[in-house]
Amino acid sequence: MNETLKTVSDGLAEIVERVSASLIRVEARKRLPASGIAWSEDGLIITSHHVVQRDENIQIGLPSGETVTATLVGRDPSTDLALLRAEARLNVPNWVTEGLRVGHMVLALGRPGNTAQATQGIISALGDKAWRTPNGGDVDFYLQTDVVMYPGFSGGPLVDVSGRVVGLNTSALMRGVSLTLPVATLSRVASALAEHGHIKRGYLGVGAQPARLPEGLAEELSQETGLLIVTVEGGSPADQGGLLMGDTIIGLDGQAVRSLDELLSLLSSERVGREVAVRIMRGGELHELGVVIGERA
């Protein structure tokens, strides 16, 4: 038994040592530094938005012990992610995107000081559907652990027992819950930040509330609710596209709209600047209008 425990213990220590080569210290706030993960060999680092409290004079600590200056490439408060760039060659870790299960043992790593730190837990909840954060960000799936997030661990990696990085840990998206953003979300957000410096979000320019559809129409569409437009901003994409107060939105770009969350999800970055078909009920009849989706400021 002792030999088995020693083997497991040595294996975990080797994982920490290996992954710590990709673990970055992020000094971008007044209090304790936080952590980041090497994202590309040419100097990109991904970390948590909430630990980057200044846009300038950002310092990062490399695994070698060297401290260098980094610049802010972009940030997305809705997913609590930020992308930094440093003039350094980085060691990118191996990432895992599938095969995760509730109960799998994991390690959370951080580098708030000069050396790597670690804590152990399990995956306690794992969703198979997209999840919207309280700030409106899109996360590819929900991943929760029972890992204790020590100060300075935000922005660091969650690692499986094979030494692969499962995602990035954050303590800011939900109070009292340790959440991990999966690599699919990191990749999507990092690509957008590298290209634009922010996440493009679609803008329609309406105020709306859920409304029940007439019984006959609900049966025809297999959809019980739509969004009743209660306000239309002057000069907005909705105004220019001909949407009126009192219309009920039931679809956008071929997708059903039953709730405000569904509408917000459909106002995604790839639809910004595109004309899409908005299906509405007006005066008890179905209509389809072409609306060019704007970009939220």
**What amino acid positions are annotated as catalytic residues?**
50, 80, 154
Residue 132, C-beta contacts closer than 8 angstroms, at least 6 positions apart: 138, 139, 261, 264, 265
Q: What is the DSSP letter of 24?
A: E
Token match 């409290």: residue?
53
> Residue 149's beta-bridge partner residues?
none
Residue 80 falls in which region: left (phi positive, over 0), alpha (psi -120 to 50) or beta: left
Under 8 Å between Cβ of 111 and 179: no
Return the number of other C-beta atoms located less than 10 Å from residue 245's C-beta. 13
Which SS3 state, helix, strand or coil, does residue 217 take?
helix
Kind of pairing, strands 206-212 and 248-252? unpaired
